[in-house]
Amino acid sequence: MAVINGLWAREVLDSRGTPTIECTVWLDNGGVVATSVPSGTSIGQYEALELRDNDPQRYDGLGVLKAVEIINTQIAPRLVGQNPTEQAKIDQLLIELDGTENKKNLGANTILAVSQAVLKAGALSVGKPLYFYLKQLYQLTDYLSIPTGVYTLVSGGEHGAENLDIQEFQVIPASFIEFDKSLEMATNLFHQLERVLITKKVTHSVGILGGFTPTLYSNTDVFELLTETVKTSRYVLAQDLFFGIDASAQSFFTGNKYLLRDKGGGYKADELLKYYKQIRDLYRVFYIEDPFREKDQKYWAALMEDLGSQVRIISDSLTATNLKRTQEAIEKKLANTLVIKPNQVGTISETIEVIKLAKSANWQIVVSHRSRETNDDFIADFAVGVGADYMKFGPPNRGERISKYNRLLMIFHELKQAQNSSQTAQTQSASTSNNS
């Protein structure tokens, strides 16, 4: 069995030109893996803390040289000679080295860079694709498949250009559509939406994730544009695809009101609840993420009671891939679907425990990217390997998003090939049995 021969980190840039960490692991059999970690723009108060240099003379204080030094001088010497397949043991070592619940000493970014690199090294050491290694290691799914895509087409809020309040408007292909056709659909609709925007002379650009940022009078206008886009395509709304939103409601809550430009003076929480029910009925909205701020749990529960049997009510900032907060949300029936972002908690092992808890409560799982991404396609394998129901990797636009989709295409074809080989073997076995 291969062991870790060396580990080294360096500062690199993410998709928005902000420093992040890349970590490389060498095995004693000559194998090498590298990984880099993302960061968020809209960061919830319950997420584990990143470690930044806070040196105003470098990258506006966002450098990660301290984190890199911790990996190279404190963590690396402890991991040399370790078996990379012992993920839980190594993650526990990292947790104990930090010694805090929110990772404030070493930083969640520091810890995840190492934890992620070790996972990749473990897969390499046993000669398995990362997604297959995850399936074998954690046994969270019986059947490997590509999760249903949640594709952002329009960006607002902190991902937009002060054009809209809701953070993401999405299309979600029906689950029976295979991934290659699903990705083709999202890409076709993305380009068709641009043609509709141009035809209507709507001023637009793209936001920090690559989604369109049209200048409109209301958030509801986006659904009208998306509906027209679908009607001018070969797809059928509520048959081939559905709409979704990531409201990120905390970001537009001000002065005891949710300030959506759809209504002068904004919405009280009970009025916003009615708004969500209206867009569900009018536009076939199937996916509603972070519909209220974290403190308005009464209305999370009310939305679940009214729409939970028909709609995915998704918790991200409320739970922040945190075991205790997820348990609380499950007990209070605040949602039925959980967003998973490994960098919100710090280690792969802790992330897995949250997924296990959610699955045991029959919640569905969305494995998500972050707004400050890298070209590392780790999260694609992770989504497949843990049996996620959905994956959310952003618009079919920009290299850091496309790298994930291209990796999923590769996995899709590998799974198809394996399935075909299995069927051929079964056919040959049956033929041999009949002939004998």
pLDDT tens for each residue of 269-325:
999 999 999 999 999 999 999 999 999 999 999 999 999 999 999 999 999 999 999
pLDDT surpasses 90 at 45: no
Buried b (16+ CB within 10 A) or exposed e, 410-422: ebbeebeeeeeee
Nearest to 174 by CA among 252, 287, 264: 287
Q: Is it the case that residue 157 has pLDDT exceeding 70?
A: yes
What pLDDT was estimated at residue 172?
97
pLDDT at 434: 61
Distance CA 101, CA 282 (A): 44
Tell me phi and psi for residue 435, to 5 degrees: -70, -30
Contact 114, 23 (CB under 8 A): yes
Task: Write out the H or E segment, with its range, that includes residue 139.
Answer: none
pLDDT at 427: 60
What is the average pLDDT score of the chain?
A: 94
Q: Give the mean pLDDT of 350-372.
A: 97
Domain limits of the chain? 4-127, 148-419
The residues with which 6 forms a beta bridge, in sequence order, are: 26
pLDDT at 58 over 90: yes
Residue with tokens 């930090």: 98
> What pLDDT does 343 receive?
93
pLDDT beyond 60 at 431: no
- In terms of Cα–Cα distance, which of 390, 374, 433, 424 is closest to 146? 390
What is the C-alpha to C-alpha distance for residues 85 and 177, in angstroms, rounded to an integer? 35
Least confident of 197-206, 211-220, 243-252, 419-428: 419-428
Q: Which is nearest to 399 in space by CA: 35, 15, 39?
A: 15
Q: Does domain 148-419 have CATH number 3.40.50.1820?
A: no
Q: Is the model's pLDDT at 432 over the cut of 90?
A: no
Each residue's pLDDT tens digit, 175-200:
999 999 999 999 999 999 999 999 99
pLDDT of residue 42: 62
Provide the whole-model pTM.
Answer: 0.94
% of the chain at pLDDT higher than 70: 95
Residue type, 8: W
Span 14-33, mean pLDDT? 97
Instruction: Quick: pLDDT tens for 384-422.
Output: 999 999 999 999 999 999 999 999 999 999 999 988 876
Q: Please state which of the ranges 71-85, 149-163, 356-370 shows the lowest mean pLDDT.
A: 149-163
- For residue 423, the model assigns a pLDDT of 66
Which amino acid is present at 120?
A: K
Distance CA 12, CA 149 (A): 29
Residue 346 · residue 118 · CB < 8 Å: no
The domain covering 4-127 belongs, at the CATH homologous superfamily level, to Enolase-like, N-terminal domain (3.30.390.10)
